[in-house]
């Protein structure tokens, strides 16, 4: 997520607090590592316990987007910053074992987001989501049209047994869900036993680099095998009335969470049938949601925004035995989240009074925008902030009290 310096506006935090060299920050698929893009290269860290694992500095430019492939030596880059290392319309696949670019994908317009899976590269542009094979010579597999997606909203399940992809629909507020494992044409892509089987360590010179001009302009609805772009079954969910700003898919691919540009409600749907499972309220005031993350066991959800706040919601059906509600004005319901004391009158009062609120929340230092992911302990969250800090918070399962465990400067 681009968490660098925002356009100055009221409530965006102190401009002095933002790290000028930081362009991008992202977790890997299981939150165990995170990567940052800077004005002069990139760095990789272990999340919890915190430790810098490696860094690469380039003399000729910055990295505006970086995507990790679990803990492997493969990453995807898009140039950015004052002097971009690569063009903004190209995705470069980097093999850190050989310190080489091993493949590149060129598009007609700027790339807004990239995510990697063991056998696929997913690329987002303003009005398109494109899927290519992850190999030395990438193949263009699918292209889906979307509504305007300036934020690059995209989510891909991180589990080894699922390949659920979520991105904005063609209509404002809609979500498209695609099961990549069932897509026609993907059977032609050999399922690798490991990442190295699909992408062997490549130590040749740059003239051996694979490349593809991936932006064919062909959409999934009209494409066929002759064009190299294959049709796919798509589930459409009408999630919000306004544009989608953030998405997350659970590791097992069973749930998708979404927020709109209004930023007050988080809705969670079943990816198979589109049924609404949870409607969670972040707050009342408008906010820019920067990240949504499911816990590995699907029992928690954390949400961060430009207000420097992180909210943690409980997704379990019921509280543990002997659990007492938190001593707050709003009583805790059976899910562990807070509700209005007037919930019993929900049929007579506006929908606000039946809302489900976070059972734990905290505000990061400097109130800068941030992204969040779950830590190594079940009741912990790691936060990456635009001021160049990583912070770990733990929370009480019963009362929701939050404590900052550590604070580290990563840039």
pLDDT for 67 equals 97
267 to 246, 281, 311, 342: CA distances (angstroms): 11, 9, 14, 22
Q: How far apart are CA 166 and CA 271, in angstroms?
A: 9
Per-residue pLDDT of the chain (411 residues; tens, 9 = 90+): 666 545 444 445 555 678 999 999 999 999 999 999 999 999 999 999 999 999 999 988 999 999 999 999 999 999 999 999 999 999 999 999 999 999 999 999 999 999 999 889 999 999 999 999 999 899 999 999 999 999 999 999 987 778 899 999 999 999 999 998 876 554 443 333 333 344 554 333 333 556 656 554 433 333 444 445 555 678 999 999 999 999 999 999 999 999 999 999 999 999 999 999 999 998 888 889 999 999 999 999 999 988 889 999 999 854 333 344 343 334 444 447 655 444 444 554 445 455 788 999 999 988 888 999 999 998 999 999 999 999 999 999 888 899 999 999 999
Q: Are 367 and 307 in contact (CB under 8 A)?
A: yes
Question: 14 pairs with which residues across the strands?
Answer: none
Tokens at residue 162, please? 């699922």
Give, in degrees to the nearest 5, the angle at Cα 73 between 183 and 254: 35
Q: How far apart are CA 145 and CA 218, in angstroms?
A: 9
Residue-wise pLDDT tens digits, 352-395: 455 788 999 999 988 888 999 999 998 999 999 999 999 999 99
Residue-wise pLDDT tens digits, 274-305: 999 999 998 888 889 999 999 999 999 999 98
Q: How far apart are CA 385 and CA 365, in angstroms?
A: 9
Q: Are 141 and 123 in contact (CB under 8 A)?
A: no
Q: What is the pTM of this model?
A: 0.82
Q: Are 353 and 342 in contact (CB under 8 A)?
A: yes
Rg (CA), the chain: 21
């Amino acid at each position: 997520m681009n968490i660098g310096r925002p356009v100055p506006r009221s409530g965006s935090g102190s401009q002095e607090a933002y790290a000028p060299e930081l362009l991008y920050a992202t977790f890997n698929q299981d939150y165990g590592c995170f990567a940052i893009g800077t004005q002069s290269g990139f760095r990789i860290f272990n999340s919890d316990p915190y430790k810098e694992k490696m860094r690469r500095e380039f003399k000729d430019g910055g990295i505006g987007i970086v995507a990790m492939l679990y803990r492997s030596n493969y990453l995807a880059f898009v140039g950015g910053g004052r002097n971009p290392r690569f063009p903004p319309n190209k995705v470069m696949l980097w093999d850190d074992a050989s310190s080489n670019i091993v493949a590149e994908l060129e598009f007609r317009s700027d790339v807004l987001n990239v995510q990697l899976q063991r056998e696929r590269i997913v690329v987002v542009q303003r009005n398109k989501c494109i899927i290519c094979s992850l190999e030395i010579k990438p193949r263009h597999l699918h292209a889906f049209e979307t509504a305007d997606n300036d934020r690059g909203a995209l989510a891909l399940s991180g589990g080894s047994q699922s390949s659920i992809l979520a991105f904005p629909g063609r209509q404002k507020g809609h979500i498209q869900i695609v099961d990549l494992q069932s897509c026609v044409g993907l059977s032609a892509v050999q399922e690798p036993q490991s990442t190295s089987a699909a992408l062997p360590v490549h130590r040749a010179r740059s003239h051996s680099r694979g490349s593809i001009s991936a932006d064919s302009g062909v959409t999934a609805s009209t494409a066929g095998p002759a064009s190299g772009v294959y049709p796919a079954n798509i589930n459409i969910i009408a999630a919000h009335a306004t544009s989608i700003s953030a998405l997350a898919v659970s590791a097992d691919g069973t749930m998708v969470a979404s927020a709109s540009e209004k930023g007050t409600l988080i809705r969670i749907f079943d990816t198979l049938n589109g049924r609404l499972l949870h409607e969670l309220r972040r707050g009342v005031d408008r906010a820019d949601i920067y990240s949504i993350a499911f816990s590995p066991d699907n029992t928690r959800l954390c949400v961060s925004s430009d207000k420097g706040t992180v909210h943690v919601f409980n997704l379990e059906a019921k509280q543990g035995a002997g659990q007492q509600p938190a001593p707050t004005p709003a009583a805790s319901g059976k899910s562990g989240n807070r509700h209005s004391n007037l919930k019993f009158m929900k049929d007579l009062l506006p929908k606000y009074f039946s809302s489900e609120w976070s059972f734990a929340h905290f505000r990061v230092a400097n109130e800068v925008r941030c992204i969040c992911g779950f830590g190594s302990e079940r009741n912990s969250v790691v936060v990456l902030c635009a001021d160049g800090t990583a912070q770990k918070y733990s929370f009480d399962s019963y009362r929701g009290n939050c404590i900052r465990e550590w604070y580290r400067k990563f840039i």
